[in-house]
Amino acid sequence: MFTLDQVVPWGRSFDEYQRMFALSEADLRRRILGCGDGPASFNAEATRRGVRVTSCDPVYQFTPAQLRARIDATRNDVIEQTRRNVHEFVWTAIPSLEALERMRMAAMTEFLGDFPAGKIDARYVEAALPSLPFADRAFDLALCSHLLFLYTVQLGEALHRAAVRELCRVADEVRVFPLLALGGERSPFVAVVAADAQATGMVASIENVPYEFQRGAREMLRLTRAAG
């Protein structure tokens, strides 16, 4: 079973974000927060397209050289675990382990190239859930990729509940992907945080998305602020 002791830096591309979160052209005209983006190239690629994206992650405290060292230290372990657990993944859009490594390294290299300018422009903000340095409803849409639910055991229930409350505070809509924990089981916290959000006036739904790499991970949790 694929497992990690802690959250690791592992970046995905703009195209993957579009499919993971079923982002429409209208969505890309909104003010977007990427929470826990790490070394993803989503911000860099989105900014080139004129999309307004702010990314936040505690790893943004580090220099590009330090981030590269953390990526290099993680890379072999993630690839080797994927190799040992190939049955836990769907090898269609990403056809092979070698292709996966190329895609991830390309995304993270693009992030590293954009990071210094992005820090100056405040597109990369050092921050960690469950406490974000943004005003209420500062964003139209908050995205959380491969952090909440994926790291169910490592983060625990209390942090999940507080984190989703915080995302609902800073954004009118929240989307979280995937809903599976490491190892492939649905996180028991999905129902809990959805109920919490509904109690504060959000509308919760689980929706299919046009993306699947971790086998069975083809749904996102969507939380939208109720009208009025």
Question: How is the chain split into domains, by residue range?
Answer: 14-225
CA atoms of 69 and 15, how far apart (whole Å) = 25
Q: Is 161 helix (H, G, I), strand (E, B) or coil?
A: helix
CATH number for the domain whose boundaries are 14-225 = 3.40.50.150
Question: Which tokens hold the place of 75?
Answer: 């890379």
**pLDDT at site 2:** 35
| CA angle in degrees (0–180, nearest 5) for 39-44-47 | 145
CA atoms of 8 and 59, how far apart (whole Å) = 10
Report the relative pairing of strands 171-177 and 139-145 from DSSP bridges. parallel
Q: What is the pLDDT of residues 183-204, one digit of tens each?
A: 889 999 999 999 999 998 899 9
pTM of the prediction? 0.94
Q: Any idea which of 48-57, 80-89, 153-162, 213-222 has the lowest mean pLDDT?
A: 80-89
Q: What is the pLDDT of residues 39-97, one digit of tens each?
A: 999 999 999 999 999 999 999 999 999 999 989 888 888 888 889 889 889 999 999 99
